[in-house]
Amino acid sequence: MKVSLFITCISDAIYPRVGEAMARILARYGIQLEFPPVQTCCGQPAFNSGYWKEARATATTIIEAFEDSDFVIAPSGSCTGMIHHYPKLFEHDPVMLARAEKLQKKAYEFTQFLVQVLDVKDIGAVFPHKVTYHPSCHGTRILGIKDEPMELMKNVKGLEFVPLPYAEDCCGFGGTFAVKMADISGAMVTEKADHVLETEAEVLVGLDMACLMNIAGNLRYRNEPVKVMHLAELLYEGVKQA
């Protein structure tokens, strides 16, 4: 079984530790992640901005990079969700449409792969902290990720989970939205951070570093001590403590 890591732009450039945590966790189950070096952006910024010709060029690179992989795993529901839009990009090109659909069927967000494919719900982690969880929009709405992170956190010893009020609300990042509508985006992330603080959690966890980066920036600006982590980081930290 050839399992490949789709690292995504933000994790590659800013949060490489997330990819490392994923690789180390999966290695515990005998999976050595492949890393095609030709991979690039998923094309979502161009797609969302209406530049579909440019998005198709980027999508083609991704399709070719993972053509011979059995599974493609990413630390982002947003970027994995973009792969689910590839068939729309190539709906008038039967050859590329078939290739896009093939990639879509084997592309998984990290927690989906652990729970759905490997049937792993308890990795033996210990994390004695109060934790809340932000469910990112694309992972929840496009991929339907709801139970997988909950299953994994439920089995972390010592973890005290606190539900996040209005958890389903967007954090305000939205990629180019945060640039084009900065004032609205800023108001949204402030509201999201307010709800995080309501929980009195020590740690905020999620599945998308873009969203977590946005919320963490607001919390740091306000000098709030909440630690922000990708769930893969929390699980790996918990395994080291076990």
Is the distance from CB of 47 to CB of 83 less than 8 angstroms? no
Strand, helix or coil for residue 109: strand
pLDDT of residue 174: 84
pLDDT at 216: 97
State the DSSP code for 157: B
pLDDT, residue 111, reads 98
User: Which pLDDT value is given to residue 8?
Assistant: 96
Cα 169 to Cα 177: distance, rounded to the nearest angstrom: 15
Please state the separation of Cα 211 from the chain's center in Å. 9
Amino acid 2 reads K
pLDDT for the residue numbered 69: 97
In the 8-state DSSP scheme, what is residue 162? -
Q: How far apart are alpha carbons 130 and 121 in whole angstroms? A: 20
DSSP structural state of residue 56: H
DSSP of 49-64: TT-HHHHHHHHHHHHH
Domains of the chain: 3-117 (no CATH), 130-241 (3.40.50)
Length of the chain: 242
10-residue block means of pLDDT along the chain (242 residues)?
96 96 96 96 94 97 98 97 97 98 98 97 97 96 96 98 97 86 94 98 97 96 97 97 74
* Per-residue pLDDT, 126: 97
Give the C-alpha separation, 162 to 155, whole Å.
15
Task: Say how many Å lie between the first and final Cα of the chain, rounded.
Answer: 29
pLDDT of residue 166: 97
Burial (CB < 10 A; 0-12, 13-18, 19+), residue 100, is buried
CB 132 within 8 A of CB 199: yes
